[in-house]
Each structure stands twice: as structure tokens, then as C-alpha cells.
Structure 1
Amino acid sequence: MELTSHANDLSEASHALTCALTAGQDSELWMPLTSQAVSAYVRPFIHSNVRTRLDKMPEVTAVPDPLQPVHDTIRKYRNTTVAHSQSNLVMPLPIAIRDAQGRGVNVVGITITHQMPLAVAQRFAELISAMEERVDHATQAVLERLRAWLSDQDPAVIDGWPFPDVAHATDSDFTAAHPRRGATHFTTYWSTTQTEEEPS
């Protein structure tokens, strides 16, 4: 279950970064997509109350040595820039507006931000791919053991296994405040907005 959860985060990172690279470095989507990729990629490597960190799982091979500097850069970028505004990649400035005589008449605030360079994003894509391969390899080994165990189970025992508990709520109740209670509990939120059909 933990490996599947980590694989989902890495897949999210890969998808977001692929969309960013497709859109291009000059696209207005570049920064939000690369930031999302960074957030999703780092998620498996930070503390969680419901799963083991990916780099603490003995069955998963470590980050490849040639890509370790990229991994370190992405983690620092997430901590200082994406999750928190603490790095020198972001510079907020007060700008004084003057009239024709040079007198100050107004003040506005701007923020200058340096986005992830294309070369870094390309190496980041290699890193995500490498980690996806490692997680997939570890997952296949676990699945083989589970398949062997499953083949020895009595059909009557299998019939008694519980189904996932799926709760339903409306979108007005949407929240992320509740911690995960178990692998077999999930809440789906349904929209209460009614779309009126256009007259034909």
C-alpha cells in the first residue's frame, strides 16, 4: 500500500512536469506546473503519519548517484521557494512612482521571481523517471509475494474479506482536515450545483 501511494505521488509529479515541458518555459503555466511537480515529487521523502518515507524503505533502491545533486536541489527548492517564501529566488520590492518633477507620488509593490530553468526541469524529469522505475521494481517484488500468498487462501476466507468503505458527502462539506483512517476508507464529494439545460 505504501509503495502504491508513493508511486501515485511520483506519477503526479511526472504528469505535471510533462505538461510544463509541453507548454514550454515561456508559458504562463510553467511556474504553477513545475511547482506542482516539485510538491508531488518531494511528498514521498518527507515525514508522514500514515506511511514510511520512500528513502527509509529498504526495498527501494536509493536515488542514483548522478541524480543525487538534482534530488537535493529539488528538495531545497521545495522547502525554500515552493512551500515557503524564504529563498533569494523571490524578491519583493517597493517601487516609488515619481511625477515629472521627480516628486514621489505613489508606492506600489512588485515581486520578482526566478522560475525553474529548463535545464533543471529536464534533469528533474530524468530523476522522476528513475525513481518511478525503482518504486515499480520494488512493487513488483511485493506483488509476487502477495500473489503467492493469495493462491493459498481458501475461497471462503476470501469471500469474508471486507469491501472498501466509501462514504458520500456534498461538495459543500469538502475538507482535507481529517487524517487517513485506513487504506479501505474513502469519502467522495458530489456536486450540488444543478446545470440548467440551454433552450433548444
Structure 2
Amino acid sequence: MTAYIRPFIESSVRARLDEISGIPGIPPALRPVHDVIRKYRNTTIAHSQSTLVMPLPVAILDPSGQAVDVMGISLIHPLPCAIAHQLSRLISAMEDVVSQATQPVKERLLARLKEETPESISGWQQPDVIHQLDSDFTANSTRKQTPRFTLYWHLEEQLPGEERPQEDLRR
């Protein structure tokens, strides 16, 4: 849902998919389901403002009926099955639109690649894969020009008396 709507939202790094000239855009017959999905994503998935989400306080009572604790729960209604099927058809149609829109770029890249030698290609910069511990994770990272992907690993502490293999980094 979020991934489907992302190309239709303003971005500082790309044009909105529905505003790119020369591509057909959202098929008119599927526009109503696109609008429903966009609203559902905004009010229910991203912001929990719809009647499909209901946060509730729950009191935990002891056998005598006295409150001993309180906690919050949320009732969430998933996307109805009929709408999910329509979304599936919409995604399939939009995959065709994106394929058509990217075809000229693909053709230019293939033409350029045919001119490259294997030696030249092997010298191209490879993506950086960074390994860090999960304790180093922050949500402040942004993509850089150089392709970079960070893998976060969890280092478990050994409890006294616990025997464990030497390998502490777990996937």
C-alpha cells in the first residue's frame, strides 16, 4: 500500500508518476480504486485517523473487579478483500505503465552497455555494504550518491554460565 502510493507523492528526488508527460498514467477505469487506496493509506495506514482504526484503553481487573492495570489496544480493520482485488488489478496496470515509461531509458542504457568492454565494466564502482551493530542504528540516515546499504547485526551478551559458539554476530 505505502509502496504503491509513494510514486504519487511529492518527492525531492523524483517526479510524481502521475505528472510525467508522455506516459498514460492511471487508467481511467481504475482511477476510483486509486483514489480509495490513496485515502486509505493516508487516513488508516499512515495516520490512523479513520473509523477503521479504534484505539481503546483496556482495564485489567482482579477477581474482585478492581482495576490493577491499564493498557492500550487498537482494533484495525484490514482492507476489504474486494478492494484488495481491485488494488491488485491497479498495481498490475501501473506496472505496465511504469514499464512503458522506463523503456526508453532501458534502451539507452543497453545501447551504452554494448559499447563497454568487460574490463571497463569490472572497473565500475561497486556498492558499499556497511556492517554495523544494531546499537549503532539511527533513523537519520539518508541515501547518498554512492550506492550504500547498511546491514545491522545484533550482538548478544553471554549470560554467566552460558556456553555459546564464538560467533556472536547473528543474522
Deviation digits for residues 69-96 of structure 1, max 9, x if unmatched? 0001000111111111222333456799
Any stretches of 5+ residues in structure 1 without a counterpart?
1-37, 97-104
Q: Distance in 2 between matches of 1:146 and 1:63?
A: 26
The answer on 1:192 being equivalent to 2:152 is no
Asked whether the equivalents of residues 90 and 114 of structure 1 are also in contact (C-alpha less than 8 Å), the reply is yes
Q: Find the aligned partners of 2:140 and 2:74 in 1 and give their Cα distance.
A: 31
* CA RMSD in angstroms, aligned pairs only: 3.4
**Alignment TM-score, normalising by the size of structure 1:** 0.61
Which is further off, 164-173 or 149-158?
149-158
Q: Could you tell me how far apart the structure 2 residues matched to 1:169 and 1:120 are?
A: 41
Assess if the C-alpha contact under 8 Å between 1:45 and 1:54 holds in 2.
Answer: yes
In structure 2, C-alpha distance between the alignment counterparts of 1:41 and 1:175, rounded to whole Å:
25
88 and 146 in structure 1: CA distance in 2 versus 1, 3 angstrom threshold:
same
Q: d(CA) in 2 for partners of 1:93 and 1:190?
A: 35
Structure 2 portions without partners, runs of 5+: 60-65, 158-162, 166-171
Post-superposition shift, 1:127? 0.7
Equivalent pair of 2:133/2:154 in contact (CA under 8 Å): yes
Equivalent-residue separation in structure 1 for 2:153 and 2:14 (angstroms) = 28
Query: Could you say what secondary structure the match of 1:191 adopts?
Result: strand
Hey, what's the Cα distance between the residues in 1 that align with 2:58 and 2:106? 59
114 and 146 in structure 1: CA distance in 2 versus 1, 3 angstrom threshold = same
Q: Aligned in 2, Cα 1:111/1:162: closer, same or farther, shift over 3 Å?
A: closer
Partner SS state of residue 131, structure 2: strand
CA distance, structure 1, for counterparts of residue 33 and residue 154 of structure 2: 41
Alignment check: 8 A CA contact 1:92 1:112 kept: yes
Contact 2:134 2:152 in 1 (8 A): yes
Moved more, 185-194 or 165-174: 185-194
Aligned to 2:168: none
Identity percentage over the alignment?
53
Q: CA deviation at 1:66?
A: 0.7
Q: Distance in 1 between matches of 2:110 and 2:55?
A: 56
- Which one has the bigger helix percentage? 1
Contact 2:17 2:25 in 1 (8 A): no
- Deviates further, 124-133 or 169-178: 169-178
Q: Deviations over 1:25-74 (max 9, x none)?
A: xxxxxxxxxxxxx2221122212333332223335430111110000100
For 1:129, the equivalent position in structure 2 comes to 92
Q: TM-score, normalised by structure 2?
A: 0.70
* Bigger shift: residues 114-123 or 64-73: 114-123
Alpha carbons of structure 1 residues 147 and 196: separation in structure 2 relative to 1, 3 Å: same
Query: 1:50–1:180: 8 Å Cα contact kept in structure 2?
Result: no
The 5 Å alignment of 1:5-154 reads 38-58=1-21, 60-92=23-55, 112-153=75-116
The secondary structure found in structure 1 opposite 2:100 is: helix
Q: Distance in 1 between matches of 2:57 and 2:118?
A: 71
More strand by share: 2
State the structure with bigger RCO (CA 8 A, min sep 6), 1 or 2: 1
